[in-house]
Structure 1
Amino acid sequence: MKKRVIIDTDPGLDDAIAILFALGSGHFDVLGVTTIAGNIGLDRTTTNAGGLLTFMGRGDIPVVRGTDIPLTRELQDLVAMVHGMDGLKGIELPEPAKAPLDGAPDWIARMLAESEPGSIDILALGPLTNIAHVVTEHPEVIERIGEIIVMGGTIHAPGNSGPSSEFNFASDPEAASVVIGSPVKVTIIPLDVTRLVRADIAYVAALPDTPHGRLARELLGVYLHNGRESRPLHDPCVMLAAIDPSIFKIENMKLDIDLGDDPDAGRLLVDRRGKPVDVALGVDTERALALLRTGFV
């Protein structure tokens, strides 16, 4: 039975791989793709999401624009060094087949209200601002969410935004705090495991010779950071955890979010007064990459 999901995303090279996998693997019924500013600005993330759906022949799936500003802070600088100014390092996608809808938080709330309780999971690949708006503005639908699986944070590994903070959570610490503190079941996939999942050049070359397999090879090719292996496949790990959580070593921890103004704003705090959250702290990298490959057959 396919998992019914909403993908909240800011594509982004690794987001693009995650979306292609979700659409090609046969494991997901993608109800919609909601967009957020993060890796790049909202206009570009929205165009990239629409282009990926059009490439996969899934113009029936709506793209819904979300917010372009954090809950209370200024938007961080673009991550152009990794993803390029267009988010895809110059790789061209078809023009979106349909114009995007507007108002991602309201759209998510409406989808939840019209569905069986617990039947929709949210796969969050970027800053959590859209989801935080749902939590704060539509509290009547929150407990209808099955699970939120989030790429974000770090427990023991160094940060990629501040010394101990990760980019998605640092982009909107207040939103991360709202989502993690909500009554919804939340699973966090942090840098501790995503940094261990990388595709080497042989893996990339051996991806299936399908249209989306070839696009994945192209995306991963520009995501190679030393000519031998990719940067971490952060966002695809969310999709893998949704299908087969046994790939990951998951522990329940009580967590809070640092809401300060220093460079580590957004870092995860292990705190006995915090909310119990499932956190992936280990991963079977070989199994993860093997499962990822199946999405491109």
Structure 2
Amino acid sequence: MTQRKLIIDCDPGVDDVLALLLALNTPTCSVALISLCFGNIGVTTSVRNVVATFKVLESERQYRTKHKLPLLPYHLHNSPDDNSTWPIVALGSTVPVSSRRTVGAEFFHGADGLGGVHECAPQFSPSETCILPFYYPKALAADQVITREQVIRDAKGYIPTPRPSWREILRILREEPEETITIVAIAPLSNIARAALEDPATFSRVKEVICMGGNIDIPGNMTPFAEFNFYADVDAAAIVLATTSRTPSSTLPPSTTAVATSFQGTTEDSEYSPVKLYLFPLDVTSRHRLRKQWFVRRCAGWLDKTSVTKVHPGESPLATWMTVWLSAAFGRMEHLVSFDGGSRDRAADHVDGINGAYIEMHDPLTMYFAIASDEERRMSFTVAEDMDIRLETIGQWTWGMCVLDRRGIAKRDPHDPRPARDDEGWLDNTMGNRVNLVVDGPGSHAFGMKLLDRVLGDLEGE
């Protein structure tokens, strides 16, 4: 199977970290870059969560080696003494492309993005100086420069860079063969949009963009009409969707119309070509849940081969660490769904065949599609291809709303007469976006088990 090369753009809260662990523990893919964006939390806060992830993975390697447990796929393919396979980590956008509205999701993920894990389990948390390698030395004081060099030497599992992440995205796309890089976008799309605007021709070398965002036939999770990632930077989302169009100017937000000529891909000699984009809206991601019972049951399978008795998952650094922030997320989700009198819980319980706490797997499901083989994608997902999905960027109440033409009128070919009332090009086959909309997936239980199996690995030992 051909190895997938990934750029992961994220805002590491709870489900982002699960998605990262899923990708890092998939032997058939390599992570070239972890690009950080504002969103669930601020960029500088999210750095600590990413560094903590690699610190925990290294602790897990030592634990499994000591107890003669099978190593995780990540451990087998990433040596702590060889950085040739380590992903680069880069800071990106701290504000939206539009800078018109700013939001956060600390209300769910906690102030640190992981339910207070740095306070509750400090043994797994890096020092706050872990941020220093992400700044150029000239921006730091003399003592900070010395500390910065030491942090870089001590870094395990990742390579920090002070370059903006959208420039790292373009560098990788420029250096790697065309159509070999998959971008997994599970944050507000600010970094992706900045890369596309800065160098459209290079950006169009991407194999595919797999994006978590938007809502089609269900309410949003930020407003009645908008999902968080699209709402957080609506112009960026509109720009990224426009990269799928043969005529990007037809769907770019008014504030970016001036740069529309950069995206023109309608001529045969153009260096730019429309991007292939898969969209995972709330409609499908919210139907895929991770149940607390499944996680607790899975962790209970750990064995200490030195005593041949079952032990508390606290023996495993990874299980201990995950238990802290997943427990916080399970509890917060129970509070959030109580506003509708429990109907949301009952419907989910009926589908999953189990009750109790759960969290929705927005980012991990999107990541699973990215790392899956072509056959797995065909077997587990249903995709509606070439959908003209546009984004509302100026509405007072509909900011961030995904808009589709629901009239059921076929688009016309270029040589057909233009309809009298089609000023926005909804019926013109050369205009509008071309988004591959994911409408169904493997289901909660099947996906939940795959996720836990991949992230936690083999619990039985030799």
Q: Do they superpose with TM above 0.5? A: yes
> What secondary structure, in the 3-state scheme, does the structure 1 residue paired with 2:48 have?
helix
Alignment of 1:58-207 (within 5 A): 60-92=86-118, 93-95=124-126, 96=130, 97=155, 99-182=160-243, 183-207=274-298
Kept in 2: contact 1:207–1:217 (CA 8 A): no
Deviation, structure 1 residue 74: 3.5
Kept in 2: contact 1:35–1:42 (CA 8 A): yes
Kept in 1: contact 2:36–2:90 (CA 8 A): yes
Deviation, structure 1 residue 116: 0.6
Kept in 1: contact 2:193–2:237 (CA 8 A): yes
Kept in 2: contact 1:207–1:213 (CA 8 A): no
Partner of 1:291: 450
Q: Which of 366, 373, 383 pairs up with 1:250?
A: 383
CA distance in 2, matches of 1:144, 1:283: 28
Provide the TM-score with structure 2 as the length reference.
0.61
Kept in 2: contact 1:6–1:120 (CA 8 A): yes
Amino acid at match of 1:201: K
**Structure 1 gap segments, 5+ residues each:** none
Residues 154-176 of structure 1 show CA distances to partners (whole Å, capped at 9, x for unaligned) of 00011011111100001111111
The answer to whether residue 419 in structure 2 is matched with residue 276 in structure 1 is no
CA distance in 1, matches of 2:223, 2:104: 15
> What secondary structure, in the 3-state scheme, does the structure 2 residue paired with 1:144 have?
coil
CA distance in 1, matches of 2:193, 2:174: 17
CA distance in 2, matches of 1:56, 1:28: 17
> What secondary structure, in the 3-state scheme, does the structure 2 residue paired with 1:30 have?
strand
Kept in 2: contact 1:247–1:287 (CA 8 A): no
Q: Which has the higher strand share?
A: 1
> What secondary structure, in the 3-state scheme, does the structure 2 residue paired with 1:67 have?
coil
Kept in 1: contact 2:214–2:227 (CA 8 A): yes
Q: Is the alpha carbon distance of 1:217 and 1:250 closer, same or farther for their aligned partners in structure 2, counting shifts above 3 Å?
A: farther
CA distance in 1, matches of 2:286, 2:4: 26
Partner of 2:321: 215
> What secondary structure, in the 3-state scheme, does the structure 1 residue paired with 2:360 have?
coil
Q: Number of aligned pairs?
A: 297
The answer to whether residue 396 in structure 2 is matched with residue 262 in structure 1 is yes
Residues 23-43 of structure 1 show CA distances to partners (whole Å, capped at 9, x for unaligned) of 123232001100000011111
Q: Which moved more, 1:101-110 or 1:213-222?
A: 213-222
Q: Which of 226, 232, 235 pairs up with 2:334?
A: 226
Quote the RMSD (CA, aligned, Å). 2.0
CA distance in 2, matches of 1:28, 1:294: 17
Kept in 1: contact 2:95–2:102 (CA 8 A): no
Kept in 1: contact 2:48–2:125 (CA 8 A): no
Q: Is the alpha carbon distance of 1:290 and 1:94 closer, same or farther for their aligned partners in structure 2, counting shifts above 3 Å?
A: same
The share of aligned pairs that are identical, in percent, is 28
CA distance in 2, matches of 1:71, 1:126: 13
Deviation, structure 1 residue 111: 0.6
Amino acid at match of 1:176: A
Q: Which moved more, 1:83-92 or 1:55-64?
A: 55-64
Q: Which of 237, 245, 250 pairs up with 2:365?
A: 237
- Structure with higher Rg: it is 2
Residues 99-127 of structure 1 show CA distances to partners (whole Å, capped at 9, x for unaligned) of 54331111110011000111110001100
Partner of 2:55: 54
Amino acid at match of 2:286: R
Kept in 2: contact 1:152–1:188 (CA 8 A): yes
Amino acid at match of 2:380: I
**Structure 2 gap segments, 5+ residues each:** 59-77, 119-123, 131-154, 244-273, 303-315, 336-355, 406-410, 412-425, 427-431, 458-462
CA distance in 1, matches of 2:54, 2:33: 10
Kept in 2: contact 1:17–1:219 (CA 8 A): no
Q: Is the alpha carbon distance of 1:73 and 1:23 closer, same or farther for their aligned partners in structure 2, counting shifts above 3 Å?
A: same
CA distance in 2, matches of 1:160, 1:229: 18
CA distance in 2, matches of 1:188, 1:62: 25
CA distance in 1, matches of 2:91, 2:326: 26
Q: Which moved more, 1:253-262 or 1:225-234?
A: 225-234
Kept in 2: contact 1:207–1:214 (CA 8 A): no
Amino acid at match of 1:50: V
